[in-house]
């Protein structure tokens, strides 16, 4: 089932997608273009993986990690489908990253990989936006590059796990202004979803609703104010967000450029 959270006439509703319409719990149908979208889930925490696609590491000549390389995605980055991404004043190089997001269905602690899929509630699409200016060895983990407000679009749906028989064989595509920029499959992951859940849950309790971003394939490219990004993953729908300049009264806070050869 494709679940959704949205606003209609000031009312916050929850429902599901049926024959192209959003049906709320009262049985009323709404056209997707007539609603204001909310996040498909309100996670307690968002954990992301760096360099989890072999081809993404290889295209920049970087060593593949020997274990999952984790970083936090602040909850203040989260943005729903159709929400506006804010391009920071002073930023020189910003890009998208299309990613499969795993949503925990129940608490997980010291879970073995063989049992990990039983703890997944569902999946959604993420766009792990980055200001490359701040991705360097000085700023690791890369919170300064990836932690800007609005830099974590998520949605549009919470697709329940029963609708995704094999999350490791899903087509991924990213478009900017209708131009195909990124295309791959989730088969390229270095560490599978069960391996990642086992690794994290060894030292941290994953709670129901928590989100894990599983990394991006090769093909990332720069975006600018005025662009519209569209992230697609097979069976999960499409996550679309426009980009606008930060307000003119905002103080530029970008400093010296980081090393763009260090890609996450």
pLDDT score at 259: 41
What is the structure's pLDDT at 260? Answer: 39
Name the CA dihedral angle for 262, 96, 143, 161, rounded to a multiple of 10 degrees: -110
Give the DSSP letter of residue 108. B
Q: pLDDT of 4-39, one tens digit each?
A: 999 999 999 999 999 999 999 999 999 999 999 999
Listed in order, the ranges of the chain carrying CATH 2.30.30.370 are 1-38
CATH of domain 1-38: 2.30.30.370
pLDDT at 227: 98
Q: What's the confidence (pLDDT) of residue 137?
A: 56
- CATH code for residues 41-245: 3.90.850.10
Instruction: Give the per-residue pLDDT at 252.
Output: 61
Q: What is the 3-state secondary structure (H, E, C) of 207-259?
A: CCCCEEECCCCCCCCECCCCCEEEEEECCCEEEEEEEEECCCCCCCCCCCCCC
Asked if 91 and 246 count as a contact pair (C-beta separation under 8 A), the reply is no
Q: What integer pLDDT is reported at residue 31 of this predicted model?
A: 97
pLDDT per 10-residue tile (average), the chain, 264 residues:
97 97 97 97 96 82 87 96 96 95 98 98 97 66 85 98 97 98 96 98 98 95 97 98 87 48 42
- Residues forming CATH 3.90.850.10 domain(s) in the chain: 41-245
């Amino acid at each position: 089932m494709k679940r959704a959270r949205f606003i209609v006439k000031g009312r916050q509703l929850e429902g599901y997608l049926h024959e192209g319409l959003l049906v709320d719990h009262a049985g009323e149908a709404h056209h997707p273009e007539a609603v204001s979208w909310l996040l498909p889930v309100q996670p307690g925490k968002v954990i992301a993986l760096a360099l989890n696609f072999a081809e993404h590491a290889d295209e920049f000549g970087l060593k593949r990690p020997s274990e999952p390389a984790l970083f936090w995605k602040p909850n203040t980055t989260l943005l729903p489908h159709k929400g506006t991404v804010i391009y920071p004043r002073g930023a020189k190089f910003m890009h998208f990253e299309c990613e499969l997001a795993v949503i925990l269905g129940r608490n997980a602690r010291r879970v073995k990989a063989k049992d990990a899929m039983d703890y997944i509630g569902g999946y959604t699409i993420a766009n792990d936006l980055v200001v490359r200016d701040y991705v360097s060895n000085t700023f690791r983990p890369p919170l300064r590059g990836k932690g800007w407000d609005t830099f974590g679009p998520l949605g549009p749906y919470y697709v329940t796990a029963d609708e995704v028989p094999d999350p490791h064989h899903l087509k991924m595509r990213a478009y900017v202004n209708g131009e195909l920029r990124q295309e791959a499959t989730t088969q390229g992951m270095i560490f599978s979803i069960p391996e990642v859940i086992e690794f994290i849950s060894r030292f941290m309790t994953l709670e129901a609703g928590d989100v894990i971003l599983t990394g991006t394939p090769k093909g990332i490219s720069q975006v600018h104010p005025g662009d519209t990004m569209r992230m697609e993953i097979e069976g999960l729908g499409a996550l679309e967000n426009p980009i606008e300049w930060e307000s003119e009264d905002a103080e530029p806070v970008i400093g010296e450029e980081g090393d763009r050869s260090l890609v996450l």
